[in-house]
Structure 1
Amino acid sequence: MAQAATSDKTSDNRHRWEAPEAEPPLAAEALREWREAVERTRAIAREGDLSLSDVARKSGVPVPTLSAWYSASYNGSYPNITRRVQRWIASHDEAREALMGLPAEPGFVETPTARRLIEALIYAQTFPEFSVVTMGAGMGKTCAARHYAATRPHAYLVTMRPSTAGRHAMLQELAMALSVSEANPARLDRSIGAKLQRNGRHTLLIIDEAQNLVDDAVNQLRYFNDEFGCGIALLGNEAVYRRWGSLGGTSDKDGLAQVQSRIGLRILQRQVVPGDVEAILDAWGIEDAETRKLAHAIARRPGALRGLGKALKLASMLALGGGEALGAGHLRQAWANRGGEELR
């Protein structure tokens, strides 16, 4: 009964990581280790705002067991649970030490390419029109779209995937993004449209990974543009451009000539520009000429700016481990460790 009561008392909604009111009947050394593990668990959880479930998941100790162990009401082997908690604490401390001293990773960086995308989104939202934006992998397309949606009123970003290719599945994704609840599937599109219209005539739907949509789903987006004055931005790979970006890419028999005629802005950019890399390096505070030259070489490889960002993060850790400032050698090693080809 005591253990059940404790488990209920320390449920996620009410657990405040207070100091245990009792101690288990253990030998001196085992009791000392329990006390230390409990205190460190309490400190880590409070500092990181972790719930009981969070700590249980990270430590691999079931919630009821962790709760009873922490409150000294456990009926099993305390040393076994203490060792599992100690392993989690050690892992947490190692990860924290690795991150301490690392330079803060820049947030959103408005590169020239990102600015070009943002201008396409502004165009689609303001007029409102269709914009089609095709960019190579790793060029910051999704990051810029997220930034725009997070900083502009009435702009919504929805990412498509193969399982949302159809019209109804797409509508369900849009409904989730817009917080629209509609039990009748036949009325879902009108409920979404009504929500868009209530937000004014300058709403924007940003559809990322639009290459996953079938033609009927894209035609549904045209309906939102026509009936509710909602701007539409289709973002994706070159399949998006082939279907809707090229003026000769769609014929009347495809059933999407009406969509193509509404596209007011088309962008096709396959590679980053040097200014993109310069902006990223400036944001990281990297001034060394050789390091910047290597960064440009990495950004020209598959993965572009995404690959460069990952290499810079790893290079920062390597530099920190050696007690050195980040330099060309660290970046070269980081790129090699990620499986990249030799840089020249």
Structure 2
Amino acid sequence: MNTIIPQVLKVRDSEGLSNRQISKESGVGEAILSKLLNNKPYTGDTQTQLNKLETWLKTRNTQLEEFNNVLKEPDFLPLPTAQTIWKLMDMARTMRRWSMVYEGSGIGKTVTAEEYQRKHNNVWIVTASDFCKSARAILSELCDRVGVKTSGMTAARMNKALEDALKGSNGLIIIDEAQYLSDNVLNGLRILAEHKCGVFLLGNDVVRTRMSAVRSQVNMNPIWSRMIRPTCIKTASKGDIQNYMMAWGITDSEMHKTAWNIIPKTTGQIRTLADMIMLASSSASKNQEALTPKHLVAAHHYLMESIGA
């Protein structure tokens, strides 16, 4: 079994990885991986599996070398923008009304929703898309989140089962990427959630502009009458940027000012800032230099630079 298995075991134990994580990253089935790591008989093509693990080791080593000594991204942070979104979610859930936050990409809408879900019971997140925007698709996704079994159910039966499950839940339905939903689907959600739970929409500016269009006014008025403080957040605030950088261990005021001048002009906001910090700290580490604004600016230029054909 050559040297591959001992190397995998060494990486697993030293980095605290699970067999499941190694299986997902390497493409080796978890049951097969367990047999190989425990030196148990495996009747399949052993060499193919070992080749996958060898590739995984090489790829992992490359990744580790590239970002050796890079600053580590912090877990969820209650940044000022996140706190604003959190309060709106509390209002919608408590009052059983609708609310929405829209426009800015990378300001933390989705991660705040996920953290809110972790900290509260009966919060269900459905992400809409081109593949998940029909009434049946949204009902099916909601049933899955709520725990309603849908095998053999019609859309009408799913709707009825959801109504029963939502009653008395004091819950919150969060629709991420809500710009994909039609007026009819949004109104279906209105009827489904009425007097049972709150609904919170997250998305880009299309959510607000389409729902406010003249052609949508008749359909959308019943929803707007239930909407509390629809909020447009275009960019990360100075407080977001400063607190986020502090969480990375970056306390230098000049670094903060550099980020303030760059981040509000980007499309990725806090997400872009995270990428910039990782690249900047990698560059500083390789050159055995202290992290400075020049590294941050260079990282931004590298991320935004187009590669010609």
Specify the TM-score bucket, using the shorter chain as the normaliser.
0.7 to 0.9
1:240-269 Cα shifts (integer Å, max 9, x gaps): 11244x5978422xx232122111221122
Secondary structure of the corresponding residue to residue 167 of structure 2: helix
Preserved contact between residue 5 and residue 36 of structure 2 (Cα < 8 Å): no
Distance 1:318 1:249 in 2: 52
Per the alignment, residue 161 of structure 2 pairs with 191
Aligned counterparts, 1:129-144, within 5 A = 129-144=97-112
Counterpart CA distance in 2 for 1:212 and 1:339 is 28
2:91 maps to which residue? 123
> Quick one: percent identity of the two aligned structures?
26
CA shift, 1:39, in A, is: 1.6
| Pair 1:338-2:306 in alignment | no
**1:259 pairs with 2:223:** yes
Residue 106 of structure 1, CA deviation: 1.1
Decide whether the 8 Å contact of 1:45 with 1:55 is kept in 2: no
Q: Which amino acid aligns with 2:217?
A: S
Instruction: Please name the residue that 1:39 is paired with.
Output: 6
Using the TM superposition, give the Cα deviation of residue 85 of structure 1 relative to its aligned residue in structure 2, in angstroms: 5.0
What's the Cα RMSD here?
3.3
Match of 2:276 in 1: 311
What pairs with 1:169-248 in structure 2 (closer than 5 Å)? 169-182=137-150, 183-185=152-154, 186-197=156-167, 199=169, 202-226=170-194, 228-244=195-211, 246=212
User: How far apart are the structure 2 equivalents of 1:335 and 1:39?
Assistant: 40
Q: 1:139·1:305 contact (CA, 8 Å) conserved in 2?
A: yes
> Aligned pair 1:149/2:113, yes or no?
no
How much has 1:290 moved relative to structure 2? Answer: 2.5
Query: For the residues of structure 2 that align with 1:306 and 1:114, how far apart are their CA atoms?
Result: 14
Query: 2:205 and 2:268 mapped to 1: Cα distance?
Result: 15
TM-score (norm 2): 0.83
Task: Tell me the number of residue pairs that the alignment of Structure 1 and Structure 2 aligns.
Answer: 299
Partner of residue 29, structure 1: none
> Which protein has the larger Cα radius of gyration, Structure 1 or Structure 2?
1
CA deviation after TM superposition for structure 1 residue 74, in Å = 8.3
Q: Is the 8 A contact 2:171 2:197 kept in 1?
A: yes
Structure-2 change in CA distance of 1:229 and 1:328 (3 Å):
same
Shift of residue 154 of structure 1? 1.4
Q: Which residue of 1 aligns with 2:78?
A: 110
| Amino acid across the alignment from 1:304 | Q
Which structure has more relative contact order (CA 8 Å, sep 6+)? It is 2
Q: Aligned letter for 1:43?
A: K
Q: Structure 1's 321 and 240: CA in aligned 2 closer, same or farther, altered over 3 A?
A: same
Once the two structures are overlaid, the 10-residue window that deviates more, 212-221 or 91-100, is 91-100
